[in-house]
Amino acid sequence: MPVIKTILCLVVSGVVLSGSAVFAQTESEPSLQDQARFYFDVIPDQVPRQELVDHFEEKVALGQRLFFDPRLSLSQTVSCHSCHNLSLGGDDGRSVSVGHGWQTGPRNAPTVFNSVLQIAQFWDGRARDLIEQAGAPMTSPVEMASTDPMICDVLSSMPDYVEWFSRAFPDRNNPICFATTRHALAAFVSTLLTPDAPFDCYLQGQQSALTRVQKEGLRQFITLGCTQCHMSTNLGGNSYYRFGVKHEPEQRYRPVADLGRRQVMETIREDYVFKVPTLRNVALTAPYFHSGSAWTLEEAVEVMAWVQLDKKLNPTQVDSLVLFMDSLTGIRPTVTLPLLPASTPQTPHPSY
């Protein structure tokens, strides 16, 4: 959350920050739009400046080709796009993904859209950034099932890739390696922003961008305290919370065996802590939760209100919240399918 904006907002409204109900109980109540601007930020339509490394355009162009190339997997069947489908919500619409040998993964595939705006990657935040993230699915035995050396062998076997890597990493002696592959993929994924959602237009001053019911949903969202976790640009993605703060979720929503962040961070003493998922484009990314077990937004909203906030919502509240969340659907990027080079006699054969 931008600090300066927060301070300004507090000064203007003349109130003291106290949890999520900061604005709700004051005499001189700020407008809903001001409240929204306090909690949320507009999705940028440009890649964040800190991502703009040297030869960024060349890295993006290369990363786009890699993203769609199934030959990064052992079977040469599974690409990044298989589970992070850019025609859909940047995910795959399944509870859990299907990977090598038709094996299923343990968690719901998160969207790649706006993922660069998160503090970390994966449901448990175990990857610091997109560069670290990009390596895991390629070498996971249940996903793409390849290996570092095999990926290098595959890419080095095609002269076009040799040229594209050289252009994207001109300072490297051996431009094609697992690290550069991850860097290029991360550069491409960092461009996958979805600006100009109705909610962004509203944040920027366009009152009519939200319907009356959507505004009521936004008010509920703030008043109920959803903003404690789902805040900032991505309405999530910037903090970790236990799934089950007030009540234990049913096992179908929170399978017993998946302890979340505790499995990967020694310092976490609590079970079932996960990164708060973004609500950006949430209307495109059913099913919900790390378990992919809630198939409608209505169901997800009711469950979350109960287990996180100890609130039983009435149908009107649920409806307005869901309609508000519809306003979080941005403009998905227009992506041209890359033309990939043919395999050569040096390219390892697919194995399946």
Long-range interactions of 341-345: CB distance < 8 A, separation 24+: 341/158, 341/159, 341/160, 341/161, 342/158, 343/71, 343/157, 343/158, 344/157, 344/158, 344/159
Calpha distance 55→50 (Å, rounded): 13
- How does 169-185 read in b/e, with b if 16+ C-beta sit within 10 Å? beeeeebbbbebbbbbb
Calpha distance 339→170 (Å, rounded): 22
Q: Check 57, 58, 132, 143 and give the catalytic one.
A: 143
Calpha distance 310→227 (Å, rounded): 15
Residue whose entry in the numeric block shows the structure tokens 């099932």: 145
CA distances 290 to 260, 308, 322, Å, are: 9, 15, 19
CB of 85 to a second copy, least distance (A): 7
Are 333 and 191 in contact by the 8 Å Cβ rule? The answer is yes
Chain positions contacting a second copy, by CB under 8 A: 68-71, 75-77, 82, 85-89, 92-94, 98, 101-102, 104, 283-286, 295-296, 332, 334-340, 342-343, 345, 349-350, 352
290 is in an annotated binding site: no
Residue in 248, 247, 235 with CA at minimum distance from that of residue 283: 235
CB of 300 to a second copy, least distance (A): 12
Give the residue with the Cβ less far from a second copy, 96 or 116: 96
- Return the ∠ at Cα 54 (arms to 52 and 60), rounded to 5°: 65
Give the residue with the Cβ less far from a second copy, 192 or 210: 192
CA distances 145 to 51, 128, 137, 180, Å, are: 28, 22, 8, 19
231 is in an annotated binding site: no
CB of 68 to a second copy, least distance (A): 5
CB of 39 to a second copy, least distance (A): 25
CB of 64 to a second copy, least distance (A): 10
152 is in an annotated binding site: no
349 is in an annotated binding site: no
Give the residue with the Cβ less far from a second copy, 98 or 152: 98
Are 280 and 230 in contact by the 8 Å Cβ rule? The answer is no
CB of 74 to a second copy, least distance (A): 12
Give the residue with the Cβ less far from a second copy, 20 or 115: 115
Are 194 and 331 in contact by the 8 Å Cβ rule? The answer is yes
Calpha distance 183→255 (Å, rounded): 34
CB of 69 to a second copy, least distance (A): 7
Residue in 118, 340, 319, 330 with CA at minimum distance from that of residue 221: 319
Please confirm, yes or no, whether 270 is among the known catalytic residues: no
Give the residue with the Cβ less far from a second copy, 41 or 91: 91
9 is in an annotated binding site: no
Give the residue with the Cβ less far from a second copy, 37 or 84: 84
230 is in an annotated binding site: yes
Give the residue with the Cβ less far from a second copy, 167 or 332: 332
CA distances 346 to 63, 132, 157, Å, are: 22, 28, 5
Residue numbers annotated as active site: 143
Q: What are the binding residues?
A: 80, 83-84, 100, 226, 229-230, 304
Extract the annotated binding site for heme c: 80, 83-84, 100, 226, 229-230, 304
